[in-house]
Amino acid sequence: MRRGIAVSPGVAIGTAYVIHEIFVNPDTKRLEDSEITAELANYETARDKAGAGLRALERKVEAQVGHDEAAIFAVHQSILRDAAFTNKVRNWIVDERMTSAAALHRLLGEYTTIFAKTRDEYLQERLNDVRDVIIRISSHLSKVLDPNANAIEGPMIVVADELLPSQAVALGEIDVKGIVTQKGSQTSHAAIVARSRGIPAVSGLNGIVRKVKTGDTIIVDGRNGHVEINPNSETIKAYRKLEREFFDLKDQLATNRDLQALTTDHVELRLQANINGTNDAVAAVAMGASGVGLYRTEYLYLTHSDVPDENEQYKTYVKIVAASPNHNVTIRTLDIGGDKTVAYLGHDHTEANPFMGWRSIRLSFEHPEFFNTQIRAIVRAASEFKKGTVRLMFPMVTTVEEIRKLRSMVRRAYKTLNAQGIQTKEVPIGMMLEVPAAAVSISNMIDLVDFVSIGSNDLVQYLMAADRDNPKVAHLCQPLAPPVLIVLKNVIETCNTANVPITVCGEMAGKPRAFVLLLGMGLRRFSMSPAFVPSIKQLASQISVEEAEQILTSVMKFKTTAQVKKFMTRTIEQIAPNLKMLSME
């Protein structure tokens, strides 16, 4: 039994499917003499397609973003044309009878070993360029995630170093019962995808891809972060019972889909969903969400083969709004940076602390035409719908000056579209509050926005000065920490006094212990992973606002996070003991 970080609750038992960093189980078989010519042709075809894609991408990025940003793809093309690069792959296919995928995998290993010997940041960055080129070629050889590989029998448990956005999207097409990753935290790509689909998941299991092989039986306990590899029959029997209880509870909670979210004293709440794409929007409807409180548009960029232009974005946003509950959607502009990067925006930029650096609207301001393209696409999509409300939200707002600049850019988008004969309608403009400076000065900003959404994931790590993805300090990133609760209470009360709609759309909105405290603070709008909507709706039906306020009063007297967690765990067990299966440590 191994223990990692619990990132998505529930229990699942299935057959392991190991995804290596780039290749899905690279084929180690030796080619027959008759297969070599065909394999060489496969490699050349994949290489030609990769080259054509890079040339097209360079032209597109230069037109939409700028010459300097497009230069990285010229570098990638030079790597692709490099004689040593190509000759090694060809020689291994011919001399050692390796498949193209296996040869590329070996080539990456060689480059990694060579570059590991240098501390020069520039040379280390070149390894990332080589890696990107190899990934691009390999994507033309086979799918990143092939559900038919190795003929997996029964429920599948995906095991990976970490889930890239492209792999996360591919998971939506196959039946995955559990996810286990070496890297990641409760706010990683894997965690977000797992929770949005209600899949039990555990992250932070160092070395797991070496310990597990495809075909092993594996148990994932997403409540406490436990993973069992090839367990004995007694262990399997015990977890089968827990797995049935987990699915029975989910089925039971699904029956409240069409019910209003009401407290016992009949206070109406808005329980909305955080989504990454159309599949999540459909799930939000199935789970009974009243709308989408956060659509993360960066996943469109992260999974796109090149730069999505205005029409591509417009069509995607229309599709998302059409699929979302009641056509109520809050669309957040591009939140790239930190742990999410694209090659044409900041890929070649090394920062000591990227989470507090050149990211989100700071990066968008530096590429105004690129940013304006997204704003126009969102405004166009919003204007398509007579029913429902589409709102425009900007991430990582820090100062009053930024809000004024953003509003000016939106006005310019209206003028441009109207000059083109495209009719538009007014779109509510809001800010994502995740920077402590904005939380402290919210009273100065509130008159400039139509709504506020608290991004608790980033707000917590910034308040506690602790990188949530750094295992050495992750224990400090606690949404139930007294300093966090003090800040949240002040922001919520300020917004309510000014009659400005406020939502919490970070992960804490879907956690029972935090939900009760937020309810006591006066919050009435919550946005969470779609799978959490039924359980939070159930919890709301078992508590009154007055009770939540009394619980908050008690909690605000505590001085340590441990005291808050212990008290709230006991409180939730008393209010809704049936939801224990869906809680996480």
**CATH architecture of the domain with residue range 255-582:** Alpha-Beta Barrel (3.20)
What is the pLDDT, as a whole number, of residue 347? 47
Domain boundaries of the chain, sorted by first residue? 2-23+146-251, 33-141, 255-582
pLDDT band at 228 (very low <50, low <70, confident <90, very high): very high
What is the per-residue DSSP string for 248-316? Answer: HHHHHHHTTTTS--B-TT--B-EEEEEESSHHHHHHHHHTT-SSEEEEETHHHHHTSSS---HHHHHHH
Query: Which residues participate in catalysis according to the annotation?
Result: 189, 505
Residue 131 DSSP code: H
Q: What is the mean pLDDT of residues 481-502?
A: 97
Give percent of the chain above pLDDT 70: 85
Q: What is the mean pLDDT of residues 113-134?
A: 72
pLDDT band at 148 (very low <50, low <70, confident <90, very high): very low
Give percent of the chain above pLDDT 90: 46
Where do we find the tokens 């997403």?
A: 222
Between 459 and 133, whose confidence is greater? 459
Q: Name the CATH superfamily, with its identifier, for domain 2-23+146-251.
A: Phosphohistidine domain (3.50.30.10)
Query: How much is the mean pLDDT over the chain?
Result: 85
pLDDT in tens, 251-279: 888 888 889 999 999 999 999 999 988 88
What is the pLDDT, as a whole number, of residue 513? 94
What is the pLDDT, as a whole number, of residue 55? 86
Lowest mean pLDDT among 162-166, 235-239, 288-292, 470-474: 162-166
Q: What is the mean pLDDT of residues 134-149?
A: 63
Taking the C-alpha atoms of 205, 206, 209 and 213 in order, what is their torsion angle to the nearest 10 degrees? -70
Domain spanning 33-141: which CATH class is it, in words?
mainly alpha
Q: Which of 457, 392, 461, 469 lies closest to 424 in space, CA to CA?
A: 392
- 499: phi then psi, degrees, rounded to nearest 5: 60, 35
Task: Please determine, for residue 144, whether its predicted confidence score (pLDDT) is greater than 60.
Answer: no
Task: Please determine, for residue 348, whether its predicted confidence score (pLDDT) is greater than 50.
Answer: no
Q: What is the mean pLDDT of residues 344-354?
A: 54
498 in Cβ contact with 446 (< 8 Å): yes
Task: Please determine, for residue 137, whether its predicted confidence score (pLDDT) is greater than 70.
Answer: yes
Q: What is the mean pLDDT of residues 548-556?
A: 98
pLDDT in tens, 352-364: 565 666 567 887 7
